[in-house]
A and B are shown apart, each in its own frame.
Chain A
Amino acid sequence: MKATPVSNCERRFLLRAIEERKRLDGRQCYDYRNVRISFGTDYGCCIVELGKTRVLGQVSCELVPPKPNRPTEGILFFNVELSPMAAPGFEPGRQSDLLVKLNRLIERCLRNSKCVDTESLCVVAGEKVWQIRLDLHVLNHDGNIIDAASIAGIVALCHFRRPDVSVQGEEVTVYTPEERDPVPLSIHHMPICVSFAFFQQGTYLLVDPSEREECVMDGVLVIAMNKHREICTIQSSGGIMLVKDQVLRCSKITAVKVAEMTELIQKALENDQKVRKEGGKFGFAESIPNQKITAFKMGSAAVDTNNVEEQAEEIIAKADPPSEVFAKPILHTPGTAQIGEGIENSWGDLEESEREEAAEEEGESEATAFECQTVETEETSTMSETKKDEPIVLSDSEEEEVVILEPQELPKKTRTQTNSKQENTSKKAFNKRRKKKRAA
């Protein structure tokens, strides 16, 4: 399949918009899209979502004889694959320029920076070493695969655990995960790539270009840096001419972004660690929310009650009206608003705590109440601006929910048709949302 060509009017429009410092999704010039990191059940498997760009990273290991000229070092092998499901232009088995460029960049970023300690991967010098293999699959291409891939790579490497080995004389014993806990890799630092797209011969610069912006850009500068402000790799492609102070400015921006990203990664790793230790549920099934494309047919989705402004006694007596909370448009710049789109800020979905925090106060949101007595079938469940990624919940059945009166009381629900399973999922989804709000 061929990729969709960029039409002239798109190109013109995008360049004009960039001149006016406007981006399609309302971001600022130096803003990243939301990053979401989720882990799989195996160690070393993670999915990174940068806006809609998704990359899956998987690390695996194997005992092999070492390279002859480096008998005491382990082997690192990196592989990036562009899956055809990422974009119509990607074909399997075809070595495109982009693929080669990605592979080289990831290799330079992760191998040459010596972020993984290869000496620690040696088991028996000259005979057996660990070969660590990192596979990155691009699942969806919405711009800036490089950044997403580098984050996925380093997160997968940090998350990975290799089996423990012990050497007694000539004997090498590899322990299974049941016998001894697997051991993490020794990572010195976390290099992360940041991409800068240039337009109009270097006059305008955007961080984290989306797919459309990438189509019309003149060139791109990729800087890989770690949080100690050490540049690991720097590459400029597209043949643009850059002035010295532009490059310096980019590196300063990179330092800021990398610091934020590293913090995010640390938090995600810690969260996952915690969940695994507590024996909670982890894995993709828990952390990737269901995305539904039909807004009106959410039959079995949870119906969430949001908060109702209490008017005291009169409401106690009657069936409480379900409240409606409206998706707040996010005003990025005056006049450019974004409504309803997925801006989910948290990776906190990892903890799918089953504890029904029924006493959870539902009394602290910004809902407005309606005095509608009829059975309103529409309920939206957004609470704060930061949690848009949730499916917009809509019940098309006759459901009424009675909401709690005071913050500390248990919610009283009188329902006509839902079953208890729905109630649980609604509570759980609600709690999930609560956590998100706290995490945000």
Chain B
Amino acid sequence: RCPAAAGVTKCGLLRHRQAGGAAAGGAYWVDSQQKRYVPVKGDYVIGIVTAKAGDVFKLDVGGSEQASLSYLAFEGTTKRNRPNVQVGDLIYGRFLVANKDMEPEMVCIDGNGRSSGMGIIGQDGFLFKVSLGLIRKLLAPKCEIIQELSQLYPFELVLGMNGRIWIKAKTVQQTLIIVNILEACEYMTAEQRKQALAKLSGN
């Protein structure tokens, strides 16, 4: 960090948001693209359970360390009422603690004690990995990709900020199509995507 000026450590687009009514001042940030995830506090991610160690689950989130998740950090669990989590299950949760000095910690519960969509992800469906930039694009408020895809088939979708996406559609075929489209969205322009979807819905 330079004392008087800000130096850029990553390459990417510099973006700016004006000071809104509630937000405290504008914000500048660098929109960079990468595939490897670094845990950040408050990020919603999809983790894979690798081990159960007593009271704590160890999850792989794609970072350098495995994250830990206490069994009490689910909605409605107590010491007697444990969550039904097996090794290899998918969990959608949020980082409580994530810095470079400590092992990251996750929870599936928000500040008020409610799960608000977090928790164990269902058994079916498919998980795949994309780059972080694509996830951010998909999570943007008015993302056309998701809207267009939903016209095609109904499906369930969970996006993790660590580059993992979980999809579930009615049949294996449909799931595969959606997976392929999402992976290809990285490199396609809007026009190409519309064409591709038009062809598919025509089928």
CA distance A24 to B50 in the complex (A): 24
Q: Is there contact, CB below 8 Å, between B90 and A7? A: yes
Given contacts A339-B184, A340-B187, contact A12 B124 (CB under 8 A): yes
Q: Does B78 contact A (CB under 8 A)?
A: no
CA distance A192 to B137 in the complex (A): 43
Q: Is there contact, CB below 8 Å, between A380 and B177? A: no
Q: Does B43 contact A (CB under 8 A)?
A: no
Q: Which residue of B lies closest to A294 (CB)?
A: B33
Q: From B33, B122, B191, give the contact of A293 (CB < 8 A).
A: B33
Q: Does A338 contact B (CB under 8 A)?
A: yes
Q: From A8, A24, A331, A340, give the contact of B123 (CB < 8 A).
A: A8
CA distance A11 to B123 in the complex (A): 10
Q: Is there contact, CB below 8 Å, between A13 and B191? A: no
Q: Is there contact, CB below 8 Å, between A4 and B48? A: yes
CA distance A327 to B131 in the complex (A): 21
Given contacts A13-B172, A293-B131, contact A340 B121 (CB under 8 A): no
Q: Is there contact, CB below 8 Å, between A392 and B176? A: no
Q: Is there contact, CB below 8 Å, between A337 and B188? A: no
Binds A, one of B15-23, B108-116, B192-200: B192-200
Which interface residue of A7, A11, A338 has the most chain B CB atoms within 10 A?
A7
Given contacts A1-B64, A22-B172, A340-B196, contact A295 B177 (CB under 8 A): no
Q: Does B103 contact A (CB under 8 A)?
A: no
Chain A contact-residue range equals 35 or more
Q: Is there contact, CB below 8 Å, between B60 and A4? A: yes
CA distance A20 to B180 in the complex (A): 17
Q: Is there contact, CB below 8 Å, between B192 and A340? A: yes
Q: Is there contact, CB below 8 Å, between B191 and A7? A: no
Given contacts A294-B33, A327-B196, contact A5 B48 (CB under 8 A): yes
Chain B contact-residue range equals 35 or more
Q: Does A17 contact B (CB under 8 A)?
A: yes
Q: From A8, A17, A327, A339, give the contact of B88 (CB < 8 A).
A: A8
Given contacts A2-B60, A4-B60, A295-B189, contact A9 B184 (CB under 8 A): no
Nearest chain B CB to A3's CB is how many angstroms away? 9
CA distance A73 to B189 in the complex (A): 59
Q: Is there contact, CB below 8 Å, between B48 and A7? A: yes
Q: Is there contact, CB below 8 Å, between A293 and B196? A: no
CA distance A364 to B60 in the complex (A): 51
Q: Is there contact, CB below 8 Å, between B88 and A4? A: no
Contacting residues, chain A, for B174 (C-beta < 8 A):
335
Nearest chain B CB to A15's CB is how many angstroms away? 10
Q: Which residue of B lies closest to A18 (CB)?
A: B172
Contacting residues, chain A, for B147 (C-beta < 8 A):
none
Q: Does A68 contact B (CB under 8 A)?
A: no
Nearest chain B CB to A18's CB is how many angstroms away? 10
Contacting residues, chain A, for B75 (C-beta < 8 A):
none
Q: Is there contact, CB below 8 Å, between B33 and A340? A: no
Q: Is there contact, CB below 8 Å, between B184 and A13? A: no
CA distance A337 to B177 in the complex (A): 6
Q: Is there contact, CB below 8 Å, between A339 and B186? A: no
Nearest chain B CB to A56's CB is how many angstroms away? 21
Contacting residues, chain B, for A392 (C-beta < 8 A):
187-189, 192
Q: Does A127 contact B (CB under 8 A)?
A: no
| A 1-41 contacts with B by CB, 8 A | 1-2, 4-13, 16-17, 20, 22, 24-26
Given contacts A326-B191, A394-B189, contact A338 B172 (CB under 8 A): no
Q: Is there contact, CB below 8 Å, between A338 and B33? A: no
Q: Is there contact, CB below 8 Å, between A329 and B200? A: yes
Q: Does A385 contact B (CB under 8 A)?
A: no
A79-120 vs B: 1/0 string, CB under 8 Å?
Answer: 000000000000000000000000000000000000000000
Q: From B125, B177, B181, B188, give the contact of A9 (CB < 8 A).
A: B125
Q: Does A345 contact B (CB under 8 A)?
A: no
Q: Is there contact, CB below 8 Å, between A338 and B180? A: yes
A317-351 vs B: 1/0 string, CB under 8 Å?
Answer: 00000001011010100111111110000000000
24 inter-chain pairs at a CB distance below 8 angstroms, sorted by A residue, are: A2-B60, A6-B88, A7-B127, A8-B88, A8-B90, A9-B90, A9-B125, A9-B166, A12-B123, A13-B125, A17-B172, A22-B173, A22-B176, A24-B176, A293-B133, A324-B191, A331-B203, A335-B173, A336-B173, A337-B200, A339-B180, A339-B188, A340-B188, A341-B187
Known: A8-B88, A392-B189. 13 other contacts (CB 8 A): A7-B48, A8-B86, A9-B89, A9-B125, A11-B88, A17-B172, A20-B172, A26-B180, A294-B33, A329-B200, A337-B177, A339-B188, A378-B191
Interface residues of A (CB under 8 A from B): 1-2, 4-13, 16-17, 20, 22, 24-26, 293-297, 324, 326-327, 329, 331, 334-341, 378, 380, 391-392, 394
